Chains A and B, each alone.
Chain A
């Protein structure tokens, strides 16, 4: 048995250089690394196929006509398949929002920061509660606006004020303001 074991190890020992590194060790490391890198590279397509596809991304801008929205009214539209709230604030609602001190807010932002200069009455936000993604109430006529006069999420009771800032309930952030610009005083492009 001893002679057999010796002969099995024989070639390897003769191949090792003075530093004790055998040629077979190098081959093992090279082969495993090659297979490993290959396996990781194969994961790439399997992972990226889950991300939004080109047709989903193609919907990433939406134009909306806001000419018919009177002060105190709002409309609900869609951007990237998500609801968007466009609200024409009344002077009183603007004043209510400006009255609040920033230190009272969970996610401190002023109404001016959440609207475009010269269009402070146009509050455009996603209609997606930042808690778990329900659509808050308050944009349609007669819907519950909650105690702060903005939006009220029926799922878990998050309450937003007239600048759509979180005031009470489990949601961590204000309703998100998407990227948008005024193409004309009555047309807005979102995205």
Chain B
């Protein structure tokens, strides 16, 4: 995989050489995230968020394993094990719990930026369709994991979130209600549901880690994309991942982790909901049920169907909500423009930003209590979401005249200076590069 000029692994340390000859794991790591992976030299900061998502997945797994050592998955004990034992009695338990809570939010923040990076720069286009689709699988797994994790403290929002979300399944005709009862192991969320959610909440992050490996593997076949969307042509277009991008990712990760620490220490409950500090009560629904913020846009789509039209409104809502994500699997074929990067697509660019605004509106509507104008706004924004992907994108890719693309990545960022254009580590320009410079 990768490019012909990728540096081969040449271990200098005899121990590493000994290992590499028997199990080429060091070679694999070197070729994947070391000096052996050539990366386009023009990546901007939006390319840092994949690594950040990996960092937050690691944080969630580490803090989660530790929290599981103190958590009781029983309907009687869960709330107190979180809010009394972990938050007050376990040494540093409060920190681990808040780190896990906010780690989930940050995981979603960086993942959303990562997804919108992909949408803007056409990262889903050939030959990276599978990278995109594996990413969507990771995102779906993240949503399932986050939902089940939110149920575990067994507060009011946990309980009613579980009730509402498992209620989605009862929307399907005939099989819906039996399916819901089967998933919950009862007629309402109770002990059986809590125990299985805990089991799956522990399992799924490792499944995510597995799909992340596939995601990176598929990415490393064509190599990373870049802001121009132009393919890598020569060694002048790339830099080795290490030390160049490890350094850039490193400082940026430190910056984001600092933000994460500020939120965790100074506003740990800002992104949560106060009702989840009330123990679950199966007989009283909170006045205003909302999911966690990262589900708000989907919740708005769910709620925007209020009238029966052939199928019941409830089923439409559920279908539209699932459809809004499944739709993204078809994106590589909905957007047929051969130009990858939105930077060279004047019409696409405008509609991209409209989509961002649309999703923000959906998020606002999904998180706020319903009234007549929010319902109408949510309906409009939901409709626009689907129109964007199903109508606007195919039309734009058919009729738009893209701007002139640069001839190569190095041309787009360098100014013709030979020394600057030389591949990393070589001070003198190679023979033949003079003719193409400038």
CB of B155 to closest CB in A, whole Å? 16
Name the CB-closest residue of A to B304.
A170
* Contact for B370 among A80, A131, A132, A157, CB less than 8 A: A157
With an 8 A cutoff between CB atoms, is A172 at the interface? yes
Name the CB-closest residue of A to B189.
A81
Q: When the two chains form their complex, are residues B313 and A172 in contact, meaning their CB atoms are under 8 A apart? A: yes
Contact A56:B185 (CB < 8 A) given known A170-B314, A171-B314, A172-B312 = yes
With an 8 A cutoff between CB atoms, is A154 at the interface? yes
Compute how far the CA of A75 lies from the CA of B288 in the bound complex, rounded to whole angstroms. Answer: 23
Compute how far the CA of A56 lies from the CA of B186 in the bound complex, rounded to whole angstroms. Answer: 6
Q: When the two chains form their complex, are residues B305 and A53 in contact, meaning their CB atoms are under 8 A apart? A: no
Chain A residues near B186 (CB-CB < 8 A)? 52, 56, 80-81
Name the CB-closest residue of B to A56.
B186
Listed stretches B88-96, B145-153, B279-287, B420-428; interface member: B279-287
**Chain A binding surface, main DSSP class:** loop
Q: When the two chains form their complex, are residues A78 and B282 in contact, meaning their CB atoms are under 8 A apart? A: yes
Chain B residues near A131 (CB-CB < 8 A)? 167, 314
Chain B contact patch, size range = 35 or more
With an 8 A cutoff between CB atoms, is A190 at the interface? no
Q: When the two chains form their complex, are residues B289 and A155 in contact, meaning their CB atoms are under 8 A apart? A: yes
Chain A residues near B288 (CB-CB < 8 A)? 154
Name the CB-closest residue of B to A80.
B187
Q: When the two chains form their complex, are residues A51 and B303 in contact, meaning their CB atoms are under 8 A apart? A: no
16 CB < 8 A contacts A-B: A50-B183, A51-B181, A56-B185, A78-B282, A78-B283, A106-B308, A130-B314, A131-B314, A133-B170, A133-B188, A154-B285, A154-B288, A156-B370, A157-B370, A170-B305, A170-B317
Name the CB-closest residue of A to B307.
A170
Chain B residues near A134 (CB-CB < 8 A)? 160, 163-164, 285, 289
**What 0/1 pattern do residues 162 to 185 of B give for CB contact below 8 A with A?**
011011101000000000011101
With an 8 A cutoff between CB atoms, is A149 at the interface? no
Chain A residues near B181 (CB-CB < 8 A)? 51-52
Q: When the two chains form their complex, are residues A155 and B190 in contact, meaning their CB atoms are under 8 A apart? A: no
